[in-house]
């Protein structure tokens, strides 16, 4: 009943907010849970997997305003905690086992747009551990950080933050920072500047495939770009540029579902259509850098900015994983993967 009431409230908010928002399709899949509302404007979620009991995993989501913050939700969508106030946090990602004073610490990293910083919080307690934040794009005229994704290098477990901005130059739009906790709080050192930009709109959605070693990001209204994730490779060649003609307007949130160590799906928000476009993680036609459209999944989220997904058994209806997507109405929607996989298998458009 609570879920139905929450979905009704969100739908009512959607219709009262603006008639220009994209309509939800009649055949859209319904969320299993809808979170409690934040105060302002949700934008991007990330799933933290509890290492002791996956059924007690949590979702971290951004609330984008001048007195916004990170919110911590349980798997029923209940708000458990809000972080210390942040000045317009945008995107968020999670990494596991950052060494801080010799102790492994799980972290959530978010961009704080009005201070030109990234902020780091420990998990699951959601406490700041960055001594006020790490400045990004220092010395640049165009800063205003938006997107962030974390890469954990398999060989040495080094953790890197890849940060995007509201606008920037055509060839070095993204900066990559190596995170360190040796000083007792998290610091960052820029190790790479890369990434093409069409100049059409902005780059917000970034996702990293740790196992395969790739970075994907959405060049809005242009397409999805793919690069190697490891800065030690010293290779900034663009590996792929795809999805150019598959979207109604904006290319938005990216989530990577892993079926095996090397296969699965890349799901990208087709924001103005309220659908997600699905591509093969392993590539197509034997080419790991050819990503052709497999399916289009209609969802009940309204103009989704950000998403995350896991294939792990979180219990209940999330036995084969959970997909989380931001929705207008100050909420995040939780979907059972069992409702998504059949549509991919059918290649439904």
| Rounded Cα gap, residues 324 and 249, in angstroms | 21
Residue 12 burial (C-beta neighbours within 10 Å; 0-12, 13-18, 19+): exposed
Average pLDDT over residues 247-252: 95
Tell me what the mean pLDDT of segment 290-303 comes to: 97
Q: Per-residue pLDDT for 218 more than 70?
A: yes
Residue 348, classified by CB atoms within 10 Å of its CB into exposed (0-12), middle (13-18) or buried (19+), is: middle
Q: For residues 23-49, b (16+ Cβ closer than 10 Å) or e, as one string?
A: ebeeeebebbbbbbbbebbbbbbbbbe
For residue 19, what pLDDT band results from cuts at 50, 70 and 90?
Answer: low
* pLDDT-based confidence at residue 15 (cuts at 50, 70, 90): very low
Nearest to 159 by CA among 121, 126, 188: 188
Instruction: Tokens 């969100």: give the residue.
Output: 10
Closest CA to 216 of 242, 235, 190: 242
In this prediction, residue 102 carries a pLDDT of 87
Confidence of residue 314 (pLDDT cuts 50, 70, 90): very high
Average of pLDDT values for 64-72?
A: 96
pLDDT for 20 equals: 84
What is the per-residue pLDDT for 11?
A: 46
Whole-number percent of the chain with pLDDT over 70: 94
pLDDT of residue 1: 47
State in words which class domain 2-346 has: mainly beta
User: 193: exposed, middle or buried (C-beta count within 10 Å: 0-12, 13-18, 19+)?
Assistant: middle
Q: State the DSSP string of 234-272.
A: ------EEE-TTS-SS-EEEEEEEESSSS-EEEEEEEGG
Q: How many angstroms separate the CA atoms of 13 and 250, rounded?
A: 22
The domain limits of the chain are 2-346
pLDDT digits (tens, 9 = 90+) for 70-104: 999 999 999 999 999 999 999 999 999 999 988 99
Q: How large is the average pLDDT for residues 204-224?
A: 97
Per the document, the length of the chain is 349
Res. 248: pLDDT tops 50: yes
Six-digit token string for 152: 């954990």
Total Cβ atoms within 10 A of residue 66? 11
């Amino acid at each position: 009943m609570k879920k139905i009431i929450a979905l009704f409230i969100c739908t009512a908010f959607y219709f009262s907010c603006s008639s220009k928002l994209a309509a939800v399709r009649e055949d859209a899949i319904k969320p299993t849970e809808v979170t409690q509302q934040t105060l302002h404007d949700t934008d991007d979620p990330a799933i933290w997997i509890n290492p002791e009991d996956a059924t007690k995993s949590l979702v971290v989501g951004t609330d984008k305003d001048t007195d916004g913050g990170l919110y911590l939700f349980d798997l029923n969508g209940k708000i458990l905690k809000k972080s210390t106030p942040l000045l317009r946090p945008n995107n968020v990602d999670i990494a596991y086992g950052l060494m801080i004073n010799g102790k492994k610490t799980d972290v959530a990293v978010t961009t704080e747009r009005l201070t030109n910083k990234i902020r780091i919080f420990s998990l699951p307690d959601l406490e700041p551990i960055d001594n006020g934040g790490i400045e990004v794009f220092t010395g640049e005229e165009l800063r205003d950080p938006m997107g962030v994704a974390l890469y954990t290098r398999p060989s040495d477990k080094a953790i890197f933050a890849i940060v995007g901005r509201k606008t920037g130059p055509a060839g070095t739009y993204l900066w990559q920072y190596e995170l360190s906790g040796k000083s007792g709080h998290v610091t960052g050192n820029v190790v790479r500047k890369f990434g093409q930009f069409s100049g059409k709109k902005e780059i917000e959605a970034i996702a990293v495939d740790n196992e395969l070693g790739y970075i994907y990001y959405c060049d809005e209204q242009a397409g999805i770009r793919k690069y190697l994730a490891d800065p030690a490779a010293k290779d900034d060649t663009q590996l792929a540029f795809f999805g150019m003609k598959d979207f109604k307007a904006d290319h938005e949130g990216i989530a990577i579902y892993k079926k095996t160590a090397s296969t699965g799906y890349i799901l990208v928000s087709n924001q103005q259509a309220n659908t997600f476009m699905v591509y093969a993680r392993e590539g197509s036609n034997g080419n790991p850098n050819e990503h052709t459209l497999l399916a289009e999944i209609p969802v009940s989220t309204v103009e989704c900015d950000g998403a995350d997904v896991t294939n792990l058994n979180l219990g209940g209806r999330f036995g084969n994983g959970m997909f989380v997507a931001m929705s207008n109405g100050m909420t995040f929607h939780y979907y059972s993967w069992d409702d998504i996989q059949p549509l991919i298998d059918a290649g439904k458009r």
